[in-house]
């Protein structure tokens, strides 16, 4: 039996330094216990970024509002995500959006915002969720080191993602370590090796592993478009060499059979069998390899994609029975949303194989609340892996959509869904992480990053929850 609201309020009333976390009631539902964790994730002259994790410790609620008070009038919410944000005086309010309005018992929602400040301390003096004072923590992450312009993190020395997690496998709807711990991998995707092979050298991969602290490198091997079909031995060998380079640096490698046109993966069925038989046999003893067998199926039914998967997976399993395999989904790997469908076609007719995950791709400026709502639902029933996402439009161009990108990344963090950003390259497009011309040199520092690259690096470089 749940305790009374009054008893829970008394139990949760905790002062954390100068910040008391307080939550205000909403007429539609009253929370019966909660926790709020507030973290300053980045700080610069005149501004800051904060993350707010709200956990419901009572009965399920539908509809919520979080309210908090800044310590001085100079602090303002500039832009927020995963909620509708407003501010009156020093009091800011975050109200649920459609896709996260329901919070089950034990469920959590991750919010965040960027703000402006004229003071030295951006931590609110009080916090506020549906009428019950919450327990929680405030302040910067204890593992961060703050400079005058940004906040960076350094993982424990010698503890690479591969060393920490070993051979991965699927457990329930999650990706898990060798020790059966649910984990999330975060990293970058290459661009086409036929065009940007020079971007994947010792200096760039060292930067990805040691400066970005990336967990994975997705190796995008195009099949058409001057790709694999033009020279199978060269592309197979290059993929294998990048698997080795990732392994040396303690990163996981996603081998991506990057087919786009035609969209039916069965067009490349024989090529896929030949390629995956070769790379699986060669890399079977490695613990860092994940196989992505169809990048973005399009203009094709789920039944056809499923048939393809059930023919390719046994080829991989014959040589490498333990590795995780990722299966593409309908509508450019949108779980069917871009084709007017949704995840139910997969839930009702899953691939007949074990230790598999399903692909979801998004581009933040083009794919927003409807797509996020689908992922939120699907993640309760299907193991998902975002093997590709962009911070811009689906064309790979256009302006960075920081609000939608951050909302997506917060959601993936909350659901512990692994992801790779498109792309770790110096392509002349706004989705690229590196400025044009970078790969002709040897400098891959923060000064070479595009706006998109800087945003994604700031997220990937935060500590892993391993």
User: Annotated catalytic residue: which of 292, 343, 388, 429?
Assistant: 388
The reply to whether 149 falls in a domain is no
Are 349 and 312 in contact by the 8 Å Cβ rule? The answer is no
For 92-106, letters b (16+ CB in 10 Å) and e give bbbebbebbebbeee
Q: Quick one: which of 433, 434, 438 has its CA closest to 456?
A: 433
The H or E element containing residue 222 is strand 216-222
* C-alpha to C-alpha distance for 233 and 32, rounded to whole angstroms: 62
Q: What is the pLDDT of residue 373?
A: 93
| Annotated catalytic residue within 296, 343, 345, 429 | 296
- Place 143 in a pLDDT band, splitting at 50, 70 and 90: very low
State yes or no: cis peptide before 288, omega within 30 of 0.
no
pLDDT single digits (tens) 175-192: 999 998 999 999 999 999
pLDDT greater at residue 392 or residue 44:
392
Work out the average pLDDT over 58-83: 81
Residues 382, 239, single domain; the answer is: yes
Residue 181 shares a structural domain with residue 82: no
- Lookup: tokens for 90: 């020093």
How far apart, in whole angstroms, are the C-alpha atoms of residue 282 and residue 259? 22
Residue 429: active-site member: no
Q: Are residues 173 and 297 both part of a single domain?
A: yes
Is 447 part of any domain? yes
**Domain residues for 244?**
158-460
The CATH number of the domain where 382 resides is what?
Answer: 3.20.20.80
Q: How far apart are CA 245 and CA 393, in angstroms?
A: 31
Domain shared by 96 and 119, yes or no: yes
398 lies in a domain? yes
- Secondary element (H or E) of residue 56: strand 47-56
Confidence of residue 84 (pLDDT cuts 50, 70, 90): confident
Question: In this structure, what is the dihedral angle of CA atoms 377, 406, 41, 61, given to the nearest 10 degrees?
Answer: -30
Helical H segments across 25-170, by residue range: 161-165
Q: What is the pLDDT confidence band of residue 227, given thresholds at 50, 70 and 90?
A: very high
- Is 148 within the bounds of a domain? no
Distances (CA, A) of 3 to 10, 11, 57, 58: 11, 10, 11, 9
Instruction: Please state, in angstroms and as integers, the Cα–Cα distance from residue 43 to each residue in 116, 154, 194, following that order.
Output: 10, 17, 40
Q: Which of 464, 452, 403 is nearest to 425 (CA)?
A: 452
DSSP string across 316-371:
HHHH-SSS-EEE--HHHHSTTGGGT--THHHHSS--S-SSEEEEEEEETTT--HHH
One domain, residues 52 and 29: yes
Which run of H or E residues covers position 274?
helix 269-283
Known catalytic membership, residue 388: yes
Question: Between residues 15 and 334, which one has the greater pLDDT?
Answer: 334
What confidence score (pLDDT) does residue 44 get? Answer: 64
Q: What is the mean pLDDT of residues 132-144?
A: 51
Angstrom distances, CA of residue 362 to CA of 86, 147, 335, 406, 411 = 27, 33, 10, 13, 13
Which of 3-12, 228-237, 323-332, 338-347 bottoms out in mean pLDDT, i.e. has the lowest?
Answer: 3-12
C-alpha distances (whole Å) from 194 to each of 187, 221, 225, 265, 462 are 21, 8, 9, 20, 32
Residue ending a domain, among 143, 170, 194, is: 143
Same domain, 129 and 162: no
The residues, any chain, with a CB within 8 Å of residue 425's CB and separated by 6 or more, are 190, 191, 196, 199, 432, 433, 434, 439
User: Regarding predicted confidence, which is higher, 58 or 415?
Assistant: 415
pLDDT band at 72 (very low <50, low <70, confident <90, very high): confident
User: Are residue 137 and residue 162 in the same domain, yes or no?
Assistant: no
Residue at token pair 């700080």? 43
User: Residues 65, 95: one domain?
Assistant: yes
Nearest Cα to 66, choosing from 98, 99, 110? 110
Q: Are residues 369 and 410 in the same domain?
A: yes
pLDDT at residue 439 tops 50: yes
Domain count of the chain? 2
- Provide the whole-model pTM: 0.69
From CA 203, how far away is CA 131, in angstroms rounded?
53
Q: Cα separation of 337 and 109, whole Å?
A: 23
**Position 278 pLDDT exceeds 90:** yes
Highest averaged pLDDT of the listed ranges 17-31, 39-53, 66-80: 66-80
Report if residue 117 sits inside a domain.
Answer: yes
pLDDT-based confidence at 234, cuts 50/70/90? very high
> Does 22 fall in a domain?
yes
The average confidence (pLDDT) of the chain is: 85
Residue 71 to residue 86: CA distance in whole angstroms: 17
The angle that helices 451-460 and 402-415 make with each other, rounded to 10 degrees, is 20
Q: How many CB atoms lie within 10 A of CB 180?
A: 8
pLDDT for the residue 33: 67
97 confidence band (pLDDT: 50, 70, 90): confident
Question: Does residue 136 fall inside a structural domain?
Answer: yes
- What token pair was written down for 229? 């079909």
Q: Are residues 263 and 228 in the same domain?
A: yes
Domain boundary among 111, 143, 175: 143
Do 366 and 398 share a domain, yes or no?
Answer: yes
Find the CATH number of the domain harbouring 16: 2.60.40.290
Last residue of a domain, one of 89, 116, 143: 143
Q: Which of 319, 118, 361 is nearest to 220 (CA)?
A: 361
Do 270 and 418 lie in one domain? The reply is yes
In this prediction, residue 3 carries a pLDDT of 33
- pLDDT of 26 strictly over 80: no
Task: Evaluate whether residue 465 is within a structural domain.
Answer: no
Q: How many CB atoms lie within 10 A of CB 367?
A: 25
Nearest to 193 by CA among 216, 224, 219: 219
Average pLDDT over residues 327-332: 98
């Amino acid at each position: 039996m749940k305790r009374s609201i009054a008893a829970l309020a008394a139990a949760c009333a905790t002062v954390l330094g100068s910040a008391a976390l307080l939550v205000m009631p909403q007429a539609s539902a009253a929370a019966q216990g909660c926790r709020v964790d507030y973290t300053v994730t980045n700080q610069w002259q005149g501004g800051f970024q904060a993350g707010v994790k709200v956990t419901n410790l009572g009965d399920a609620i539908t509809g919520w509002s979080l309210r908090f008070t800044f310590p001085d009038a100079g602090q303002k919410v500039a832009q927020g995500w995963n909620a509708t944000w407003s501010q009156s005086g020093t009091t800011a309010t975050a109200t649920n959006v459609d896709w996260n309005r329901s919070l089950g018992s034990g469920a959590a929602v991750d919010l965040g915002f960027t703000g402006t400040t004229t003071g030295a301390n951006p931590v609110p003096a009080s916090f506020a969720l549906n009428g019950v004072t919450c327990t929680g923590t405030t302040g910067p992450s204890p593992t961060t080191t703050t400079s005058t312009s940004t906040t960076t993190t350094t993982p424990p020395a010698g503890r690479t993602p591969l060393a920490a997690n070993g051979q991965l496998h699927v457990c329930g709807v999650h990706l898990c370590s060798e020790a059966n711990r649910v984990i999330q991998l975060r990293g970058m995707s290459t661009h086409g090796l036929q065009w940007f092979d020079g971007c994947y050298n010792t200096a760039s991969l060292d930067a990805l592993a040691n400066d970005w602290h990336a967990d994975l490198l997705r190796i995008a091997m195009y099949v058409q478009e001057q790709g694999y079909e033009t020279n199978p031995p060269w592309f197979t060998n290059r993929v294998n060499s990048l698997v080795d380079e990732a392994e040396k640096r303690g990163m996981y490698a996603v081998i991506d059979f990057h087919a786009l046109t035609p969209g039916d993966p069965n067009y490349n069925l024989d090529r896929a069998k030949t390629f995956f038989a070769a790379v699986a046999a060669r890399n079977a003893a490695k613990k860092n390899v994940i196989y992505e067998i169809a990048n973005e199926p399009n203009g094709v039914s789920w039944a056809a994609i499923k048939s393809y998967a059930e023919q390719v997976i046994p080829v991989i399993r014959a040589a490498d029975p333990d590795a995780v395999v990722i299966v593409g989904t309908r509508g450019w790997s949108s779980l069917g949303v871009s084709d007017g469908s949704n995840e139910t076609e997969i839930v009702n007719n899953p691939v007949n194989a074990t230790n598999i995950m399903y692909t979801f791709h998004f581009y933040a400026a083009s794919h927003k609340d409807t797509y996020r709502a689908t992922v939120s639902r699907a993640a309760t029933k299907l193991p998902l892996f975002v093997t590709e996402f962009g911070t811009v439009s689906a064309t790979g161009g256009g302006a960075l959509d920081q609000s939608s990108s951050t909302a997506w990344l917060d959601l993936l963090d909350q659901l512990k869904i692994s992801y790779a950003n498109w792309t770790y390259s110096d392509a002349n497009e706004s989705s690229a992480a590196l400025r044009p011309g970078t790969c002709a040199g040897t400098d891959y520092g923060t000064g070479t990053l595009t706006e998109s690259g800087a945003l994604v690096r700031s997220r990937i470089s935060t500590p892993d929850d391993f």
